[in-house]
Structure 1
Amino acid sequence: MKQIVLSIAVLSVFAGSAQAQSSVTLYGALDAGVNYVNNAQTSNTAAGRTGGHQFVMMDGGTGGALGSRWGLTGTEKLGQGFSAIFTIENGFLINNGSLAQGGAQFGRQAFVGLSSPVGTLTMGRQYDPVQDMYSPFLAGAWGGYMAAHPGDLDNALKTRRTNNSIKFQSANYRGLTVDALMNLGGTPGSFSNNWIWGVGGSYTGGIFSLGAGYLNIRNPNTSFFGSNPNAGPATSNNLGSFGSATSPENNPVYAGYASANRLEIAAVAAGVKFSGMNINLAYSNTRFEGLGSSSGPNTLNYVGTASFNNLEINASYFLTPSLETGLAYDYTRNAGAGGRGGANYNLFSAGLHYFVSKRTDLYTLAMFETASGTDSEGQKAVAQITGMTASTNNRQVAVRVGIRHLF
């Protein structure tokens, strides 16, 4: 009997030791709510755009604070400060249960790698350095997807992920973190075709913080905008659509630039935090270069470069430990392409979150956008709050009431 008891005790020690060396965590978020849009298109024809107001239940990933998801993340300690790590994260639409990210099983993230005292090296479907280092400074932190820059043109609100990528992110050294990513295009005989690479960095010292990122994307219509399972080949437009007699326009802000040979995104932001207040200033430049290439359709025969400049200022403040409010203003200028067109977009965002617990909050969001000029589709620019259906005119209002729960 003593031997049996001793054996059980020894096995228990080893089992506890093994358990301490590795872990797997299930996590996720659920975000549901009702959105009101004052003007949403139903069709776009030569005779004009038609539409009306809309009430719709939406997942947080398209019109709320946070996209619904579940994921598994794991760590296995290997010794000497090294660990094997992985994350697989599924996105879905809580209003109907369907898969998000174009039907990908683990469309939000899917990677495996090694962490060490100097940083982490991972491979798979991942976020890029602009998202890692620039996004935390934007109004999307409290305003969600609707607070994104028009069409999420700089991808700062994580609309698209990078497939087949190798990424290194350094450990935090005295407030400084650096980030680098590369996607191998995989095209036989052409290293640069579908190639994506980027770098970024952030620094935090006291109440001040800085973040910056750069992303260079070849053949963006297929390599970047076409990174989801439901995307089409180079002959289709993965950036958006011109609409028809039976469907509204989709992302007219830059849908006309699908033929770009290269997409460059450069972004920088700064922030300050004190006494429950968070104030940020952010700037990004997005360039669709080499228009007219075989990367995608070119209905309007564009050539040259289409450049967007974006400037955002936002602030959030905890009125009480459980009540957070946020305000933001964003200005976007499309300089046009090859001397043709050009549009301006103004977005005003406001949000209020009431945290009934550490994991659950009730919230409301309100957005107002105006547009002017000629958009990428060569038409009079219309407002389209990100995630909503485009308006029939140059103004759009969207309001949401929702609930979010983290687990």
Structure 2
Amino acid sequence: MKPCRLCPFLAAFLAAAGSGPASAQSSVSLYGLLDTGVTYTNNVASGDRSGAAVQLQSGVAVPERWGMLGREDLGNDAFVTFRLESGFQTSDGRNLVAGTAFGQQAYVGVGGPWGTVTLGRQYDLVGDVMPAYAIGANTPAGLFGWSLPANAAGGYVLDNRVWGLQVDNAVKYVTPVVGGFSGGAMYGLGNVPGSVAKRSSSSFVMTYDNSAFSASLGYFGQKDIAAGGNIHDIVGGMAYALGALRVFGLASTVWQTTDGSPRANTYELGATYQFDSALQVGGGFQYQKRNGGVGSANQVTCAVDYFLSKRTDVYAVATLAHDHGFGAQAEAGLGANSSTSAQSAVRIGIKHAF
């Protein structure tokens, strides 16, 4: 049997971890998030017909999920962490990722004063950080706010991935916060025999946050995607809070290394205002420009969110989308393209966290 070159290092690590206080704590938390409501959308294209649609939809404001988050303190500020998370839809009970037990996230890692390293299926770093500057995450707009960034090529090929993408076989490192600055790097192995790079993914992020002001710059790249070539995404965001008012915005450019080198630049600016502990209003404007002679698009979104308790809120969202290159689509994922260049949608829903 070959000698284990890592054994001395593992032994030293375990010895150091075990030298902490005997009162090291362990915990496992069960959590979840539910979101369901009624959505009205006009100008929905369906075969050779079009018309308005009224649908019961779930997972619009936020992805519905449940999971387990665990942590074991090893002493000397070191710890082990894991997360197992599954996505579903309350509208029909369906698992979001067929054939998987934990399709949203499944990882384990170690951390300490030097940062945290996790291994497994997990979100890229753009998804960890950039939603803080997006309309879709700062308000209950959800998929309404993600629609324009996602539909850049009329089929989610050039979406800006600000909401994050789950990456399999990923190794992620996140730094500690030092003077308001933090960062991270991630690499997803393609697991292709004979090539380390093929089908691999990489992501980087840098953030500054002093509570009132925050700014981030991130990158995500993926090789040999299903549509062909490689895809790259660079996104930056800023936010400023002044009392009950918070203003935020981001800009992203995403391009693909295939014939024609398709590219889409997306910009958005939004704000929220917290009237009191129960009532928040918010909204924003998005604009997208594409190359290759494909027309631009824009979207206006407004939202009202009322908290019945710390864990339950009801909300209303309205949006109007215009797309001069494809049939407009006011809602990402669950929505459908318009039969014209315009589409509007209204939704009333309820969210509950446990």
The AA in structure 2 aligned to 1:403 is I
Matches within 5 A, 1:46-85: 50-60=49-59, 64-85=60-81
The equivalent residue for 1:38 is 42
**CA displacement, residues 319-358 of structure 1 (integer Å, 9 cap, x when unaligned):** 222100011100011112xxxx312110111100000111
Q: 2:142 aligns with which of 138, 141, 144?
A: 144
Q: Give, in whole Å, the separation in 2 of the partners of 1:343 and 1:111.
A: 41
Q: Would the aligned equivalents of 1:145 and 1:157 in 2 still touch at CA under 8 Å? A: no
2:278 is equivalent to residue 322 of structure 1 = yes
Describe the shift of the 1:32–1:20 C-alpha distance in structure 2 as closer, same or farther (beyond 3 A).
farther
Aligned identity (percent) is 31
Q: Give, in whole Å, the separation in 1 of the partners of 2:99 and 2:304.
A: 31
Q: Would the aligned equivalents of 1:34 and 1:57 in 2 still touch at CA under 8 Å? A: yes
> Alignment RMSD, CA only?
1.6
The equivalent residue for 2:101 is 105
Q: Give, in whole Å, the separation in 2 of the partners of 1:180 and 1:76.
A: 24
The equivalent residue for 1:286 is 254
2:135 is equivalent to residue 135 of structure 1 = no
Task: Note the C-alpha offset of 1:403.
Answer: 0.5
Matches within 5 A, 1:362-381: 362-373=314-325, 381=326
Q: Give, in whole Å, the separation in 2 of the partners of 1:34 and 1:53.
A: 13
2:346 is equivalent to residue 390 of structure 1 = no
Q: TM-score normalised to the size of structure 2?
A: 0.88
The AA in structure 1 aligned to 2:44 is A
Task: Note the C-alpha offset of 1:129.
Answer: 1.4
| SS of match in other structure, 1:342 | coil
Can you give the 5+ residue segments of structure 2 that lack an aligned partner in the other structure?
1-20, 151-158
Q: TM-score normalised to the size of structure 1?
A: 0.76
| SS of match in other structure, 1:130 | helix
The equivalent residue for 1:122 is 118
Q: Which has the larger radius of gyration?
A: 1
2:162 is equivalent to residue 156 of structure 1 = yes
Task: Note the C-alpha offset of 1:310.
Answer: 0.5
Task: Note the C-alpha offset of 1:102.
Answer: 4.4
Can you give the 5+ residue segments of structure 1 that lack an aligned partner in the other structure?
1-16, 44-48, 222-257, 292-302, 374-380
Q: Give, in whole Å, the separation in 2 of the partners of 1:151 and 1:104.
A: 27
Q: Give, in whole Å, the separation in 1 of the partners of 2:219 and 2:116.
A: 19
Q: Would the aligned equivalents of 1:167 and 1:182 in 2 still touch at CA under 8 Å? A: yes
Q: Give, in whole Å, the separation in 1 of the partners of 2:206 and 2:128.
A: 9
The equivalent residue for 2:154 is none
Q: Size of the alignment, in residue pairs?
A: 322
Q: 1:402 aligns with which of 308, 329, 349?
A: 349
Q: 1:219 aligns with which of 224, 245, 255?
A: 224
Q: Give, in whole Å, the separation in 2 of the partners of 1:19 and 1:118.
A: 22
Task: Note the C-alpha offset of 1:25.
Answer: 0.2
Q: Give, in whole Å, the separation in 2 of the partners of 1:102 and 1:38.
A: 30
